[in-house]
Every structure is written in structure tokens, then in C-alpha cells.
Amino acid sequence: MKIRYYISLCVAATALLSVSCGSSKKDKTAEEKVIVVKAPDMNADSAYLYVKQQVDFGPRVLGSKAHRECGDFLSAKLASFGAKVYQQEFDATIYDGTTYKARNIIGAFNPDARKRVMLCSHWDSRPWADNDPDEKNHHTPILGANDGASGVGVLLEIARQIQRKAPEIGIDIVLFDAEDYGMPQFTGKHDEDSWCLGSQYWSRVQHVPHYNARFGILLDMVGGKGATFLQEGYSRDYASSVVKKIWKKADEIGFGTYFPKRSGGYVTDDHVPVNQVAKIPCVDIIPCDEGCELSSFGSFWHTVNDNMDVIDKNTLQAVGQTVMEVIYNEK
């Protein structure tokens, strides 16, 4: 993930109680006809395995063998689950002017359906452990078990479930590359545009002409133990109805402790260009550790300690099941 000055404005929301007057029998009848679809059961063991398989390649940094082989693995996995796979190659020029070959990987399920939802994550890993307490590690690439692999692992498990039982709408799983190449802290500078290169490219040039989706859900760092996902700022600004839908569903199925209905800060992440350039309302499910001094994203964020030891199956379960309950209830 990126140096994001996560303005941790985790403010307590004031409850505004409103009383509806004159509810008609017709309204009540309409409510009674709403059918809730039970989504398939998320298999956290499966999602965990997909996270580990990515980490086993090593750091997925641009230009490396690990990056190339992991990309091939992800493409093949999506195809094996029945997706129509698109490889969107592009040139990624990072903060210091170096250009690398990169690729976004898209798996389309029921590609002819007009009603669609996009689910996304980034699949690259940070090339520098620039938030590590030990300065000697600042130029060391990280494994990115949580920051990168966790979101992709959950999406692969969702893809596996879609193959077994498809929702009524089309689903696009979009894996963005080159998200984590933002200007490192050791430069002493900050540049918002140096982050999220894959989603910036995709938002300008979608994988198919005239692509559109009802909304998008971005998963970023969704495997940490005891994670809490606050309602991120840009998500509230651009996709408030989707935020309410996700957090309401999480509460209904017993994951309200992971998704407290509180506001978080603004995060520069892949959903920003999706919202601002592609004009698709997109929500970022991203953790906020209010008690961590090293980073609001957790003590292991952008350090050499972002490995499989930080991944918790319970968190993968909470996020994956919530997302599936949302998409399976779209008509």
C-alpha cells in the first residue's frame, strides 16, 4: 500500500433517529416481497492458501521473475474458475523515472451480462520496506502477505465460489498492478500520483470498450488479525449508498465488529481513480488500527514483517463472506 496520510478521523457518529409517518400497506407489502439470497459459504482455508501461494513466489515487484510467474498463476487461476481473462499490459513509470512493463489482470464472469459489479485488489508488492523500524531494511522488498496478497486471495476464493454457483449479475475481478510504487519515505518527499499506477491506467483505458459497473469494491490489506474496517473518506464521498450496503450486510451476518459503522480518514488507493476518472462508485475496504503508533495500517505495514504470520483466517472470512452476501443479493 501507499504512504497515505491516513487522517484517522475515526469520529463517533451521532445517531439520528427518524420516524416515518403514514407508512402504507402497499409499502409494507413491498418490503415483505424482498427476498434475501444466501450466498455460498466462504472457505477461509481456501482463501488463506491462495494468499500463501502468492507469497511463496517471493516479493512481486516489477521486472522480477516472481512478479511474472505470480501474474501467470493468477491469470491461469481465474481462467480455471471459468472467467474470461484479459491481460492489460502497460508501461509503468515510477517516481524516479524508471519504466517497467506491468499488467492488470481481469477475470470477467458472465461477460455478456449488462448488470455488473467489479471487485478489485492490487497484486504487486511494495519494493521497499520503507516503514520498517530498522533503517537497514528500507530498501528491501516486502513479501506483502497482507498488503496485496490478502485481497487477491479473498477474490480468488470468491471466483471459485462463483464457478460453483453464479450470482444473477456479471462480476469482474480486476487485479491492479503497480499500486505500491509510490514515492518511498526515505526520499523525504510525497507525490500522490506516484501511487496506484495500474488503476490509473485502467480507469483511462478499460479492458473492454464502454465498460461500466453498478459499483466497485476494493479489498486492500484484508487479512490482518483483529482488523477493523472503518468507512473510508473517498468511499463515503463517492459511493455512500454502497458503503451503507456493505456495512449493513456485515452487521446482519455477524461481522459488525470487523465493520464498525464509524468514519475513517481519506486514503489514496486504487478506488480513487476508479471513482474520479472511470466514474464508477467504488468503496475501499481497508483497515484502520487506531492504537498503532507506527501506522494506522498496522505495525507490519511496509515492513519486512508483512508475512504469513500476520494473516488471520477469521478476517479473511469476515471480509469475503460480507462481499459475497452483497454481490449475491444484487439483481
For residues 143 and 55, the answer to whether their CB atoms sit within 8 Å is: yes
Phi, psi at residue 273, to the nearest 5°?
-65, -30
Delineate the domains of the chain, giving CATH numbers in brackets: 38-328 (3.40.630.10)
pLDDT over threshold 70, residue 1: no
Q: What angle do CA 230, 173, 3 make, to 5 degrees?
A: 45
Handedness of CA 303, 146, 51, 44 (dihedral sign): positive
Query: Binning pLDDT at 50, 70 and 90, where does residue 2 land?
Result: low
CA 91 – CA 45 distance, rounded (Å): 35
d(CA 253, CA 138): 41
- Which residue type is seen at 179? E
Give the 3-state DSSP-derived string for 103-145, with helices as H, strands as E and coil as C. Answer: EEEEEEECCCCCCEEEEEEECCCCCCCCCCCCHHHCCCCCCCH
The CA distance from 112 to 169, in Å, is: 10
Query: pLDDT for 130-149, tens place per residue?
Result: 999 999 999 999 999 999 99
Q: Is the pLDDT of residue 26 over 90?
A: no
Q: Indicate if the pLDDT at residue 13 is higher than 50.
A: no
Q: What is the pLDDT of residue 31?
A: 47
Are 169 and 116 spatial neighbours (Cβ–Cβ below 8 Å)?
yes
Spatial CA neighbour of 316 closest among 150, 171, 189: 150
Please give the share of the chain, as a percent, with pLDDT higher than 90. 86
287-316 mean pLDDT: 91
Pairing of strands 170-176, 99-109: antiparallel
3-state secondary structure of 161: helix
Write phi, then psi, for 227 (nearest 5 degrees). Answer: -65, 145
| pLDDT of 22 strictly over 50 | no
Residue 292 pLDDT level (bands cut at 50, 70, 90): confident
pLDDT digits (tens, 9 = 90+) for 31-55: 446 789 999 999 999 999 999 999 9
Among the ranges given (87-96, 260-269, 286-295), the one the predictor scored with the smallest mean pLDDT: 286-295
pLDDT in tens, 186-238: 999 999 999 999 999 999 999 999 999 999 999 999 999 999 999 999 999 99
pLDDT (tens digit, 9 = 90+) per residue, 152-181? Answer: 999 999 999 999 999 999 999 999 999 999
Whether the per-residue pLDDT at 12 is higher than 60: the answer is no
Q: What pLDDT shows up at residue 33?
A: 64
